[in-house]
Amino acid sequence: MGSLTNIRKTDSHRVTVKCKSEGCPWRIYASRLATTQLICIKKMSTTHTCEGAAVKARYRATRGWVGSIIKEKLKVSPNYKPKDIASDIKREYGIQLNYSQAWRAKEVAREQLQGSYKEAYNQLPYFCEKIMETNPGSIATFATKEDSSFHRLFVSFHASISGFQQGCRPLLFLDGTPLNSKYPGTLLAATAADGDDGVFPVAFAVVDADTDDNWHWFLAGIEICSINISANHIRCRFPEGLERVIV
């Protein structure tokens, strides 16, 4: 309750807590039980006639506290929206959250469940190693910049490589899409058409930016997978001019 209440000690064993707003009847009378350290509330008036009933979250809740409250629900419902978080916290605890407070609390809860972004990036070497260990014939590699920050990641599973070679038409479709997260980047993808004209995933990469250099690196990764295909059999849905990355 912090600055919204006045705390007045009657003596070392009794305390009275009153709402700061003049004329508001909200108050608590409590005392310590004899021979124990327990505190017993003797009398309490729970009615606020001031704005205390709708106090702003900055006085009564931290994003860490809200995150711990919503963590289990977020685990079950990953698409738990900030506006729904704010609504639930208001209904269950009487605390008002604005959108940004609810969003930050959701990020805290997500980190508690999944770990931090930094920890995830640090796991990339292990991730690539395990892909190739548990899926023999797969290609998984990553690169960092000079300052050791993330640059790019390439993955093609053995099943995708083998499936393309044995069951798909010799035609490759390339596309990219921006990734909107705390650390933005671009997802590059190579797909093919299987015998039923379905989309067949061949390889993907996560890169720091949509650049010619990253596209060349992605295509080089596809070539390492022993997927040899001529430029005439590659189709792109790029912004105008990016076809020049195909050589």
Tokens 């995150």 locate to 67
- Residues 60, 33, single domain; the answer is no
**What φ, ψ does residue 6 adopt, rounded to 5°?**
-110, 130
- Residues 199, 151, single domain; the answer is yes
User: pTM for this structure?
Assistant: 0.64
Domain finish residue from 66, 89, 114:
114
Residues with Cβ < 8 Å from 30, sequence gap 6 or more? Answer: 14, 15, 16, 17, 39, 40, 41, 42
- Residues 61, 88, single domain; the answer is yes
Q: What is the pLDDT along the chain (247 residues), one digit of tens a residue?
A: 444 555 565 566 788 888 877 778 888 888 877 777 777 888 888 777 765 555 444 445 688 889 998 999 999 999 999 999 999 988 888 788 999 999 999 999 999 998 888 888 899 999 999 999 999 999 999 999 999 899 999 999 999 999 998 988 888 899 999 998 778 899 999 999 988 889 999 999 999 999 989 999 999 999 888 776 655 556 666 555 455 555 5
CA–CA dist 203, 176 (Å, integer): 12
- Residues 67, 101, single domain; the answer is yes
- Residue 244 DSSP code: G
- Residues 20, 110, single domain; the answer is no
Q: Flag whether 191 is in a domain.
A: yes
Q: Flag whether 230 is in a domain.
A: yes
Q: What range defines the domain where residue 131 resides?
A: 121-239
Q: Flag whether 245 is in a domain.
A: no
CA–CA dist 148, 150 (Å, integer): 7
- Residues 129, 210, single domain; the answer is yes
Helix axes 82-93, 99-114, angle to 10 degrees: 100
pLDDT of amino acid 3: 43
- Residues 150, 217, single domain; the answer is yes
Q: Flag whether 95 is in a domain.
A: yes
- Residues 17, 68, single domain; the answer is no
* Number of domains observed in the structure of the chain: 3
Six-digit token string for 129: 């190693």
- Residue 69 DSSP code: H
- Residues 153, 177, single domain; the answer is yes
Contact in structure between 42 and 30 (CB atoms under 8 Å)? yes
pLDDT of amino acid 59: 46
Q: How far is CA 99 from CA 15, 94, 105, in A?
A: 37, 16, 10
Six-digit token string for 172: 């490759």
- Residues 42, 94, single domain; the answer is no
Contact in structure between 27 and 9 (CB atoms under 8 Å)? no
- Residues 46, 126, single domain; the answer is no
Contact in structure between 200 and 191 (CB atoms under 8 Å)? yes
Contact in structure between 208 and 190 (CB atoms under 8 Å)? no
pLDDT of amino acid 9: 57
- Residues 191, 139, single domain; the answer is yes
Q: Flag whether 84 is in a domain.
A: yes
Q: Flag whether 128 is in a domain.
A: yes
Q: Flag whether 167 is in a domain.
A: yes
Q: Flag whether 246 is in a domain.
A: no
Residues with Cβ < 8 Å from 202, sequence gap 6 or more? Answer: 156, 160, 161, 164, 168, 172, 190, 191, 192, 222, 225, 227
Six-digit token string for 68: 């711990």
Smallest CA-to-CA distance from 122 within 142, 100, 93, 94 is with 142
